[in-house]
Amino acid sequence: MSATGRSGAPSPSDIRARKGGAPLVCLTAYTTPVARMVDAHCDLALVGDSVGMVLHGLPSTLGVTMEMMILHGQAVRRGLDRALMVVDMPFGAYEEGPEQAFRNAARLMAETGCAAVKLEGGVAMAETIRFLVARGVPVMGHVGLTPQSVNALGGYRVQGKGEDAERVLRDAQAAAGAGAFAVVLEKIPDPLARRVTEALPVPTIGIGASPACDGQILVVDDMLGLFADFKPKFVKRYAELDATAREAIAAYAQDVRARRFPGPEHLFGAAEPARVSAPEAAPR
């Protein structure tokens, strides 16, 4: 039995030990059925706060709550047997200080059964990461483009260009130095991602970063093509499920309107033909 309490599931320490080894395969998951599919092939399943945008139609991750993360974390936990489960700390759940972060991280772990939490930030969050790790909360870091800071960053732009590269490197080193078992590098130039990966003693997980990272992660709905009008440069589409789903729904609607569905094969018992009563004899 692993440290996660599930047979075959890696622990955060196992993930950390994969530095420089076979690439780590990671995807997001927000529901039980998708978690089951992800579990069959991935080392790590992230219940990301991207759930707010992907499933709830929010304009950003800033409106995501602890209750939402717990609800989806519980759903994903039911679908996992072998992948490490990490849950995002939502905006406002940890920035106030280490004590606040510990209370909310402990709640996430207790109520979802996750093995670790993820939080955004490097230098500014090093003290908090260190505080959590010292108290038994494994932490995954996240630097570069940090979606919860989108307003401060001026949008979803590539980070770490030019002189800004040093900031991203310092953030990554601070997160790793504080005890993070892995660090997500989001939307930074390939040369910088390679440099950070070489500098860190823990695995880097890239998303819009570099194939040189120790692993890769994508939002599962993006790589499955569930959003026809959203095609980030860093996402490879492995399917076009948006088009397939739209065609299937249209075909269903046509069949219902034409009374082709349900057919005889979908019914329980044979349909009885309507009986017409014989007219009563007219009185004489």
- Does residue 1 sit within a domain? no
* Token reading at 177: 């130095």
Number of domains in the chain: 2
| Residues 186 and 154 occupy one common structural domain | yes
| Residues 18 and 42 occupy one common structural domain | yes
pLDDT of residue 275: 55
| Residues 133 and 266 occupy one common structural domain | no
Given a cut of 70, whether residue 56 has pLDDT beyond it is: yes
pLDDT of residue 104: 98
Beta bridge partners of 192: none
- Does residue 133 sit within a domain? yes
Q: What is the dihedral of CA 199, 200, 203, 208, to 10 degrees?
A: -60
The answer on whether 118 is annotated among ligand-binding residues is yes
**Measured distance CA(275)–CA(133) in Å, rounded:** 75
284 compared with 149, residue with greater pLDDT: 149
pLDDT of residue 9: 84
| Residues 123 and 16 occupy one common structural domain | yes
Verify whether residue 163 is a known catalytic residue: no
| Residues 222 and 254 occupy one common structural domain | no
281 compared with 114, residue with greater pLDDT: 114
| Residues 138 and 120 occupy one common structural domain | yes
- Does residue 154 sit within a domain? yes
| Residues 148 and 181 occupy one common structural domain | yes
Q: What is the pLDDT of residues 133-170, one digit of tens each?
A: 999 999 999 999 999 998 877 778 999 999 999 999 99
Write out the residue range of the structural domain in which residue 34 sits. 12-239
* Average pLDDT over all residues of the chain: 93
Distances (CA, A) of 49 to 33, 135, 210: 18, 24, 23
| Residues 147 and 120 sit within 8 Å (Cβ to Cβ) | yes
Q: What is the pLDDT of residues 16-54, one digit of tens each?
A: 999 999 999 999 999 999 999 999 999 999 999 999 999
- Does residue 251 sit within a domain? yes
* Token reading at 135: 């108290």
The answer on whether 49 is annotated among ligand-binding residues is yes
| Residues 55 and 38 sit within 8 Å (Cβ to Cβ) | no
Q: What is the pLDDT of residues 71-86, one digit of tens each?
A: 999 999 999 999 999 9
* Token reading at 202: 């823990």
pLDDT of residue 13: 98
Please pick, among 186, 240, 265, 280, the residue that the annotation labels catalytic: 186
Question: Per mean pLDDT, which range of 55-64, 88-97, 149-158 is the poorest?
Answer: 149-158
* Token reading at 167: 């900031």
- CATH code (residue 33): 3.20.20.60
| Residues 91 and 115 occupy one common structural domain | yes
CA angle 249, 251, 257 (to 5 degrees): 105
**Measured distance CA(21)–CA(45) in Å, rounded:** 19
| Residues 245 and 227 occupy one common structural domain | no
- SS3 of residue 12 by DSSP: helix
| Residues 262 and 182 occupy one common structural domain | no
Beta bridge partners of 85: 45
Is the N-terminal amide bond of 262 cis, ω within 30° of 0?
yes
What average pLDDT does the segment 54-64 reach?
96
